[in-house]
Structure 1
Amino acid sequence: MAELLHGEGGPAVVDLLLRAEHSRRLLLLRILDDTTDLGPAWELLSEAQRLAPSVVDTLFRYPQTGMWLATALRRLRGAGHLDEPPLWVVLSHISALAAAAALRAELDFAIEVPVWQGFAPLPTLGSAELPVSERWSMATVRSESGHAVVEASGTTVALPLPRDSPAPGWHPVRRLAVGPSERRLEVTLEDVDPFRTYPQPTGPHPLSDEAAGQWREVLKQAWEVLSREQPGSAEAMRRGVFSLTPTPATERFRPRSVTAGDAFGGIEASEPDDAVQLAVTLVHEFQHTKLGGLLHLTPLVSDSTDRSPELWYAPWRDDPRPLAGLLQGIYAFVGITDFWRTHRTAHAGRTAMAHFEFALWREHVMTAMDQVHRHPHLTPLGAALLDTLRNRCAGWLKEPVPEEQLALAGLCVADHAARWRAHHLRPSPSGVAETVRAWLSGASGPPPELATTPEVVPDRSARWLDSLAMLVRHRLDSQDGGPASPEAPEKADAEVTGALPADAFLAAGDATAACDAYVAQLSTDRPPAGAWAGLGQALRISGHAPRAAHLLGRHPERARAVHDALARAAHSAPDPIRLATWLGSPPTSR
């Protein structure tokens, strides 16, 4: 337990979590059997368990099996989405599991299994492709004396021996083994199991041989990085990561990855920019995996938070998060911070980005932890975990970082927090109304009512709040020998979704041009909320209008709310810098 509280956890800890997960899944299977009739599938699975118990144990250790169990029980409770497969398809997946177990146990049998959009998946083995027109249907799996086939609509697909060999109509599950024998990582490159994607299942989508080869190579390189720089984490991953689900590439520096508490050991990840990015993703998601396993044993947050959830600032998200969600992020990004801390000194080249990432994430993580340190809704274990992680991060804050990367990280930390405030915090409506009256009457400063604690109101339009950090990453990567960034800053924003033209000037270090561009954007009919935060940072760096810079750095939501209210009341908006300077003046009493 002490290792997990520290954000770590070796093979023995992972083995403990795996045993708990196995027991939990067997309990869920019993609940499912008590809830619905599993019919012939239950009988075939029981026979496989009797003859080859290790086969069934392996099948139920597989991440996708855990995801299926949770999905089936959720659907039986009536929870689901319109675009999810029919309930009968989800429940029939037990037949596919039973067929896979029986094939591995070398039983003779025949059973019907579901067909997902032309594919009949057999978990841990592969998927048969069938020419069926229906989106959802059934096929028959038969096995006799070691010869197995999948039949539907007059088509028969013969399953080869060994099962991991390709054959006409058969897409075997690909297994990747990377690293030397004593430190080898073995995972399934999962592209056919419907429950490989989280939180909703999707039909099989077999990779091309070329794409699978690319994933094998980048995983090999990522594993070399982890084995060399994070040997303890790598050894734990060898015991606790079983499948990697590939998804299409996303925008540069913005990978997408997902894990689910019900799918211990499974990671869904977009095609990475490079091996280092995949290594970071594996660290990130394995942290979630370990914490998810711990949460299946004991809570970190009391149940009372479900009835009236408080929402908090999570520096890695665009949206406000509840306490439990914030803890998940803290745990994951402690791991990421530790990765960059090690990586920045692991080799001589390409260190600018690593120094920046370490400085950025240690500040972000500490900011998140300071908000909820000793929160009354933390359980004793939750409080101990946060205390331990916070003490660890406090030590990292003392470690030196080169001046340029430290300044850029500080800029991005402040900018992200201010953008989040501009979007999600709402000053008191009465305070805003009183402030508008004070401005229009020529008062020397805003009323005290504007400074009352704002309310957290999630803004669904908040997207890409990390745009400035993304622009900085493009700049630093070019310094480290990566692709060159556009010479003209005003063209750089085209590389980053959500970036404002002014953000590109700010990231390039031209604070004066950034000020002008932010003011121009704030003078439009629909000014972007993030421009208030950016203007504050640009003013701070340029040294112009320090009172406005201070106000916008700490309380951009006040400027946004009053500016919008004045535009409605007076049918014209005031100069943004003049308004922010006035709002930053000492409050006046009526």
Structure 2
Amino acid sequence: MNFAPLPTGAIAELARTRPAQADGALLRSALHARRLLLLKALLVRVQRDREAIDAAVFRRFAQSWHLLERVEGRHPTVVRDVLDYPMTGAWLAATLVEPVGPPLDGHLVRLESLAVTAALRADWPLDLDVEAPGGFLSLPGLGRQAARSGRVRIKAGSRVARIHSEESTATAPTVLLLTDRRTGTLVGRGQDWQGLATLPDSGARLDDVDPYRVPPGGVGVPPRTAAAPGETDPDVWLARWRAGHALLARTDPGRAAEVRRALRAVVPLAPHGHRSLGATLRSAPGAVLTSVPAGAQDMAETLVHELHHSKLATLHELVPLYRQGRAAVHRVGWRPDARPISGVLQGAYAHLALTDLWRRAATAHAVPRPWRSSAGQQFDHIHDQVGEALAILLESDELTSEGREFAQQMRRHHASLGTAPRAAG
């Protein structure tokens, strides 16, 4: 895809891993441009394969596209927010590679949920039946409605929407109230409604219901799967978030502000042993996938680590940093398995951000003494491993010219961090 040239110094700034509002705005703009491109690619594909798509599915897709266009004409900010939600990217990625057949038809139904979500958030008048695949209507970034009949009726207007989960409108509906027109904030209540918790001091959601939050086969090696909605205790997650974010704010206020700006969703993963494990999806920047962090330190480190995977994935879409299709693999200190050059770059970048964080934690008087101590130890352990990975990157012929510049700037920041810091106090 063709983007405008990067601003002077953008690669150097991003390579340092330090937060900068201009860099965040650049990545958000790139993310949105890619979403629009992928959405247009989906429309082209649906039109091309029209005869192979179920007629009812095609009709609903066309109606949903029309609704989304009309809402976007009057409320572009709301539509942009819905399109840029992480799981919209995961849906587009899955749909575009799905062969023609019933599974593709199932993916296409999702556009109706996107259009309805945008319309509800924009206070658009609605009176329509909506499909609820698998017995649930998922409204991205808002929650889900149980629908035993496989379909719901939505009537909306004047800041109030009513969703009937049965074909009959005799049962008590779910009520969604638009509490803030500027942000499109909706609050719901009803026995069939499961809304998403909002993380304190943030616009991000604890998303344990979206069907695209984790791929069907899991993520990572070994595969990590999504926690089932009934397995998630929001109170535990919100407590971990508050503690982790507060610790991050005391240690590195700039990073805490970056997390608030860039993070859109935290996706709970099923427990895997005694350690918490984090992950990101390249197709869903802005979402951090993790099992329950052990405490504040674990949460803070997971947020920084995974957020930098998201930043790098978005930057690579904006300007390719490495060439695809190479078979070479390389050993890095933080993993037992050999990694392709993309994995080396991703790991080096995320761990460089952590070494920067650990150096600050080790020398900060405002953080608890145990973290000051462990941060110094972790810095000492990982700093050399990042240096070795940077040497692999700079000796490789798999990086593009922009990728080489990026790695060189990473090395400069790595060198500026120096040797193991002396703990404060």
Q: Distance in 2 between matches of 1:353 and 1:227?
A: 18
In structure 1, the residue matched to 2:26 is 16
Deviation at 1:251, TM superposition (A): 3.2
Question: Under a length normalisation based on structure 2, what TM-score does the superposition of the two structures give?
Answer: 0.82
**Do 1:259 and 1:266's aligned partners in 2 also have CA atoms closer than 8 Å?**
yes
Shift of residue 401, structure 1, vs aligned partner: 6.1
Equivalent residue runs for 1:2-81 within 5 Å? 2-36=12-46, 37=58, 38-76=61-99
Higher RCO by CA contacts (8 Å cutoff, separation 6 or greater)? 2
Residues 112-511 of structure 1 correspond to what in structure 2 (within 5 A)?
Answer: 112-116=130-134, 118-131=135-148, 138-145=150-157, 146-152=160-166, 158-162=173-177, 163-178=186-201, 185-198=202-215, 205-206=228-229, 211-252=233-274, 254-303=275-324, 306=325, 308-346=326-364, 347=367, 349-350=369-370, 351-400=372-421
Unaligned runs of 5+ in 1: 79-84, 133-137, 179-184, 403-590
Aligned 8 A contact 1:312 1:320 in 2: yes
**Helix, strand or coil: the match of 2:346?**
helix
SS at match of 1:171: strand
Give 1:120 deviation, angstroms: 1.9
Q: Residues 334, 259 of structure 1: CA spacing in aligned structure 2 closer, same or farther, 3 A cutoff?
A: same
Whole-Å separation in 2 of the counterparts to 1:199 and 1:298: 29
CA deviations 1:181-218 (Å, max 9, x no partner) are: xxxx331111111122257688994357x821121111
SS of the equivalent of 1:54 reads helix
Shift of 1:388: 1.9
TM-score by length of structure 1 reads 0.60
Displaced runs of 4 or more, over 6 A: 201-204
> What is the DSSP-based 3-state SS (H/G/I as helix, E as strand, rest coil) of the residue aligned with 2:327?
coil
AA aligned to 1:72 is T
CA contact (8 A) 2:355 2:382 kept: yes
The Cα shift of 1:114 comes to: 3.4
Counterpart secondary structure, 2:165: strand
Aligned length: 379
Q: Kindly tell me: are residues 3 and 56 of structure 1, through their superposed partners in 2, closer, same or farther at Cα, counting changes over 3 Å?
A: same
- Alignment-mate amino acid for residue 353 of structure 2: G
Bigger Rg, structure 1 or 2: 1
User: Pairwise CA RMSD of aligned residues?
Assistant: 2.6
Looking at structure 1, the residues matched to 214 and 119 of structure 2 have their Cα atoms a distance apart, in angstroms, of 25
Cα distance in 1 between the residues matched to 2:132 and 2:210: 12
- Match for 1:359: what amino acid? D
Aligned equivalents of 1:173, 1:217: Cα separation in 2: 15
| 230-239 or 293-302, which deviates more | 230-239
| Counterparts of residues 546-585 of structure 1 (less than 5 Å) | none
Q: Secondary structure at the match of 1:96?
A: helix
Q: Percent identity?
A: 31
- For 1:49, the aligned partner's letter is E
Whose helix proportion is higher, 1 or 2? Answer: 1
Following superposition, the deviation at residue 284 of structure 1 comes to 0.2
Gap change, CA 1:309 and 1:167, over 3 Å in 2: same
1:231 CA displacement: 1.7
Do the aligned partners of residues 343 and 251 (structure 1) sit closer, same or farther apart at CA in structure 2, a change above 3 Å counting?
farther
For residues 268 and 398 of structure 2, the distance between their equivalents in structure 1, rounded to whole angstroms, comes to 37
Q: Distance in 2 between matches of 1:20 and 1:139?
A: 36
* Letter aligned with residue 356 of structure 2: D
Gap regions ≥5 residues in structure 2: 1-9, 47-57, 178-185, 219-224
Structure-2 separation of matches of 1:288 and 1:327: 10
Query: Once the 2 structures are TM-superposed, how far is the Cα of residue 353 of structure 1 from its aligned partner?
Result: 2.4
TM superposition shift of 1:73: 0.6
C-alpha separation in 2, matches of 1:204 and 1:40: 33
